[in-house]
Structure 1
C-alpha cells in the first residue's frame, strides 16, 4: 500500500509506527482523552498495543494510521487513521482520532480531516467515507457535521466499552459526488 504524507501549512500526517509513537506518550495519558472510545491508551504498554493493532491493519491493507504533527505549535498532537478499508466497494472509515486537549478547537482537526478526505476521494478515488461516533460524543458529532457529513443512522448498543457500558454508534457518511461542494466549504474553514 502506498504510504502517503498528507500535509498543508497547518498539519503533517505521516505513518504511525513503532519508531514514532512514543512522541504521543504524554498526550495519550491526558484525562478523558478517548473517553468515548473502546480503546485504551492510558499507559505506555497500552499505547504500544494500540499502535501494534494499527500496524497489523496496515500490513493487511485495512488501515492506514497517521501520527499528527501540528506545524503551528511545532508539536506532535495525536493520531488518526483510515480504517475498515474496503478496496472492492471503495468505502473507508476515518476515525480512531485523538488529539491532545491543547490542540482541540484550534482548527487542527478540520485541516487534517480535509487532507484525509481529499486523499480518499481524489487520490484513492473512493466512493464513500464513513465516520462512526459514540452517540454521547456531541463534540465529535458536531465536528463531523461541520465537515459536511450526513447522519445515516444509529447502531443501537453495538459497542462494548471498557467500563461495561454498551454504547450506540452514530454512522455518518460523505459520498464522492458530495465532495466537490464540501471541499469548497472546507477550504473556507481551513484558510
Structure 2
C-alpha cells in the first residue's frame, strides 16, 4: 500500500499536500485559539511552524502524506493533518497530527477531513486498518475520534515523554476495513447536516 499524493476534495474542504507555501497560512490558523498552549496537545508554536512544515515535507519522502486543510467557505487554510507510519506490507496507516484554528472547530471540517482521508485509505488504497493515537488527557480529541466510529484498542502507558517532561499515556483507536462501510454511512449522514 503506497499512498498517492494528490488533493482530496470535498464540499467543505480541500486537503492539499503540504508545501512550504503553507507556513504563513498555518501560522495565522494556529494563532486562532493558541492551541500550542494546551499542555497535552502537540501543536506547533507560530515560531516553530517553519520547521514543523519542513519536517512534515521531509517525512513525505518516506511515504507519509501531510495536508493543509483548506476551508472553501473562508478561502483560508484552517489547519493540518496527515497520514503517517504507512505500513505497506500490512496495509495499515496512522491518521493524526491534526489541529485546526478555533473557528474551524464544530463546523463539519474535521468530519469531512476524516471522511475524505478514510475513504482514500480504505476505498482507493485497500487499507485493512487505520489507526488513531492521542494523549489520554486529550478528552476533546478522544471524543472526536470516537464520534468517527473508531474503537479503542488500548492504552500505551508512559508511551512518550512530552516537551514539558511529563509522561504521555497514549490511547490507541482503530477502524478496520470491515467496519468502514458502517463508519462511512455514519459520516455521510453527519455531513448531510452541515451546510456546504
Same fold, judged at TM 0.5 (above): yes
Deviations 1:51-95 (A, max 9, x none): 11111110111x100000111222210100001111111100110
Cα distance in 2 for partners of 1:160, 1:103 equals: 29
Question: 2:12·2:112 contact (CA, 8 Å) conserved in 1?
Answer: yes
Check the 8 A contact 1:34/1:98 in 2, yes or no. no
SS of residue paired to 1:67:
strand
Q: Per-residue deviation at 1:184?
A: 0.7
- Which stretch of structure 1 is more off in the superposition, 23-32 or 98-107? 23-32
How does the TM-score come out when normalised to structure 2?
Answer: 0.91
Per-residue deviation, 1:34: 6.7
| Aligned-partner Cα distance in 1 for 2:142–2:76 | 26
Partner of 1:25: 27
8 Å Cα contact 2:36/2:44 also seen in 1: no
Q: Which residue of 2 aligns with 1:160?
A: 161
How many Å separate the matches in 2 of 1:82 and 1:140? 16
Q: For the residues of structure 2 that align with 1:10 and 1:181, how far apart are their CA atoms?
A: 22
Pairs aligned (count): 188
Secondary structure of the 2:35 match is coil
Indicate if the aligned counterparts of 2:67 and 2:81 stay in contact, CA closer than 8 A: yes
CA-to-aligned-CA distance 1:97-133 (integer Å, 9 cap, x gap): 0100111111110010000000000111111000001
TM-score by length of 1: 0.93
1:66 alignment partner in structure 2: 67
Conserved? CA contact 2:153–2:174, under 8 Å: yes
Which runs of no fewer than 5 residues in structure 1 stay unpaired? none
Alignment-derived partner of residue 18 in structure 2: 16
- Superposed CA RMSD: 1.4
Match of 2:8 among 6, 10, 16: 6
